[in-house]
Amino acid sequence: MSASTLSRRHLLQTLGAGSLGLAALPLAGCALPSAFADGGEGDAADDELTFLISNLDGGWVPSKSAISSYEANVWQQLTDKLVHTDADGVVSPWIAESWEQDADSTEFVLHLREGVTFSDGTPLDAAAVLANLESWAVGRPDDGLAPVGLFPGGTYEGAEALDPLTVRVTFTAPTLSFLPTLGYHGCQLMAPASIAASLEEQSDLANQIGSGPFVLDTWAGNDHVRLVRREDYDWAPEVLGASGPATLSAITFRVLPDDTLRASAARAGQTDIAYNVNPQVLDSFTEAGFVIEVPRYLGFVHGFSLRTNVAPFDDVRVRQAVTRGIDRDEILRTVFTDAWESATSWLQAGVPETTDLTELFAYDPGLAAQLLDEAGWTDRTEDGFRSKDGTELGFTIYPTPYLTGSVPEAELISQHLGRLGIRVSTQRLDIPTWTERVTNNPEQGISPVTRSFVDVGTVAGVITDEGEDWFAVGTSDEELVRLRDEVAGAADHDERAAIVEQLSRHVLEQAYFIPLEQNVQRIYVQSPQLSGITFNAVAIPSYHAARKDPS
């Protein structure tokens, strides 16, 4: 037998044994610690909560992910806010136990609760609040750290500590939105050390110190975050209905990207909460005894803003025809469930200043056809679509990637408008491409809107070219400009409510905005054993008072 044969045989034997040994390592590695955990989360202790979420890939830099529909679920349990703003826009004390504001709403004095600390022991006092206000209003853009977008940084002048528990905040112009915005999910209170950290340091959730009812136990990439109860927590807002530490001992947020798997896991009893499953399967969960929460946040309804400098939306009759040509009831019946409701304005029904203006955009295909005829779209192409001067009437809708159900909804709208002779194409895009092709594209005439706000003053910042100019009217619509200035300058809530109604009526009469349905961006399929969960103004849950009934 030659040496080479021996060598080959030996090598083959070694390879076989080696591969088995190598294989045994990872198998053993995951077997020993995990074998008992398999099936595990569903068998979690009675005071532990498992929450399946589609992703946690937005990172842990608060200015990036605090307003995310995903990470916000975690942040809400780790942090507190100065005030609590509920689903009806009502502001109540939290870390700020009281406040005063001057007559023109340019100066606010916040009185802080005594004895509050961050989980690293640092006091949550006036100095900490000043550091937070600075990060929300100004940020550190040169270090890659953005301010909080919806904080009224444009009129923010500064803040000072009057004593260790009192802060005065001043603005250069009336800023009614200041107080409710303190309850906005972007305005979460972080320890000064966390705020001072670099962008890279802030990306590590372990470096993010809050004062909330839970603290971080472990986290791993886009896999999971486990929080445990903070035993000395005793400053929950009264409106949550519980004091002292949280009832639950731990919460595990586990990432499972596929919505059908999240639904399957819920059905199999492997999770307490499954986030954002397909609306069309919700009825089956309800029948099986699950609790479906579809909290609506304050803000704009789901709808389309139309750019009036882009054909065919440069003709008000076409805009009105498109508005009147959409059968919202059929959308609700077909795409969503009974938990969804039709829009009554361009603002969510929960916004205190909203009035029912449904008559301005209700489904009326006869009127829509008449408007198109009047606009001269009377010829027909070979495919049966309307045309004028050889141009076919049509456009493309890119459904928002931020909303579950937006794609079938757009396809249904395409059918509705197709019956009127309007060719509507739909195309689904990922978020970066959607941002590029819709948000940043001045030639895209129709743009989906799903935006939250906690104060109606936000509308002044989006409607003309002194803001985002959603409708591309610039200053050409004098009535719109007048109403914008009055909303922005209002120092009194009642006075502003009347102006908001005029503004809403004008926007809908001009068909600048096509309302669809009350915006539901977050869907929670919950085990019937859960109770005590509350949602804030932006539809984010608090689990401080949540409990699991072992039965």
Per CB under 8 A, 238 contacts other proteins: no
Per CB under 8 A, 255 contacts other proteins: yes
Per CB under 8 A, 333 contacts other proteins: no
Q: Is 71 exposed, middle or buried (0-12, 13-18, 19+ CB in 10 A)?
A: buried
- Least spacing, CB of residue 284 vs other proteins, in Å: 14
Q: Record the tokens describing residue 131, joined without a space.
A: 């550091």
Site residues (CB under 8 A) for other proteins, limited to 152-171: 154
- Least spacing, CB of residue 538 vs other proteins, in Å: 9
Whether the CB-CB separation of 109 and 126 falls below 8 Å is answered with no
Site residues (CB under 8 A) for other proteins, limited to 419-438: 430-433, 435-437
- Least spacing, CB of residue 186 vs other proteins, in Å: 9
Neighbouring C-alpha atoms within 13 Å toward the C-beta of 506: 17
Nearer to other proteins, 147 or 421 (CB): 147
- Least spacing, CB of residue 368 vs other proteins, in Å: 28
Q: Record the tokens describing residue 214, joined without a space.
A: 């839970």
- Least spacing, CB of residue 493 vs other proteins, in Å: 22
Q: Where are the alpha helices (DSSP H) in 55-125?
A: 62-65, 72-78
Please identify, among the stretches 139-147, 329-337, 412-420, 472-480, the one whose residues bind other proteins according to the rule CB under 8 A. Answer: 139-147
Distance CA 475, CA 472 (A): 9
Per CB under 8 A, 144 contacts other proteins: yes
Site residues (CB under 8 A) for other proteins, limited to 64-123: 64, 67
- Least spacing, CB of residue 288 vs other proteins, in Å: 13
Distance CA 100, CA 167 (A): 11
Rounded to an integer, what is the distance from CA 470 to the centroid of its chain? 19
Binding mask of the shown chain, residues 30 to 59, with x at each position contacting other proteins by CB under 8 A: xx--xx-xxxxxx-------x-x--x-xxx
At residue 61, what are phi and psi to the nearest 5 degrees? -80, 115
Whether the CB-CB separation of 272 and 526 falls below 8 Å is answered with yes
Site residues (CB under 8 A) for other proteins, limited to 256-295: 256-258, 261, 264-265, 267-268, 270-271
Site residues (CB under 8 A) for other proteins, limited to 291-320: none
CA-wise closest residue to 332 among 370, 356, 357, 363: 363
- For other proteins, the binding residue among 203, 278, 280, 358 (CB under 8 A) is 203
Site residues (CB under 8 A) for other proteins, limited to 213-232: 220-223
Nearer to other proteins, 144 or 352 (CB): 144
Nearer to other proteins, 406 or 452 (CB): 452
- For other proteins, the binding residue among 209, 242, 422, 449 (CB under 8 A) is 449
Which residues on adjacent β-strands are paired with residue 425? Answer: 396
Per CB under 8 A, 515 contacts other proteins: no
Which residues on adjacent β-strands are paired with residue 493? Answer: none
List % helix, strand, coil for the chain (3-state, nearest 5): 35, 20, 45
* 40 DSSP 8-state letter: T
Binding mask of the shown chain, residues 468 to 487, with x at each position contacting other proteins by CB under 8 A: x-------------------
Residues touching other proteins, count (CB under 8 A)? 82
For residue 381, give the amino acid letter: T
Per CB under 8 A, 536 contacts other proteins: no
Dihedral angle sign, alpha carbons of residues 147, 153, 154, 160:
negative
Nearer to other proteins, 40 or 241 (CB): 40
Across 28-129, where does the E strand assignment appear? 48-53, 83-85, 91-93, 96-101, 107-112
- Least spacing, CB of residue 250 vs other proteins, in Å: 14
Distance CA 299, CA 296 (A): 9
- For other proteins, the binding residue among 175, 344, 452, 534 (CB under 8 A) is 452
- For other proteins, the binding residue among 62, 89, 123, 139 (CB under 8 A) is 139
Nearer to other proteins, 150 or 169 (CB): 150
Please identify, among the stretches 147-155, 164-172, 209-217, 374-382, the one whose residues bind other proteins according to the rule CB under 8 A. Answer: 147-155
Neighbouring C-alpha atoms within 13 Å toward the C-beta of 39: 2
Q: Record the tokens describing residue 401, joined without a space.
A: 């990637």
Which residues on adjacent β-strands are paired with residue 537? Answer: none
- Least spacing, CB of residue 221 vs other proteins, in Å: 5
Site residues (CB under 8 A) for other proteins, limited to 389-408: none
Nearer to other proteins, 19 or 475 (CB): 19
- Least spacing, CB of residue 47 vs other proteins, in Å: 17
- Least spacing, CB of residue 145 vs other proteins, in Å: 8
- For other proteins, the binding residue among 84, 254, 302, 307 (CB under 8 A) is 254
Per CB under 8 A, 150 contacts other proteins: yes
Write the DSSP assignment of 466-525 as a string of letters: TTT-TT--TT--HHHHHHHHHHHH--SHHHHHHHHHHHHHHHHHTTSEEEEE------EE
Write the DSSP assignment of 175-198 as a string of letters: -TTHHHHTTSTT-----HHHHHS-
Nearer to other proteins, 125 or 409 (CB): 409
Nearer to other proteins, 368 or 538 (CB): 538
- For other proteins, the binding residue among 6, 17, 18, 22 (CB under 8 A) is 22
Edge-to-edge order in the sheet of strand 386-388: 379-380, 386-388, 391-392
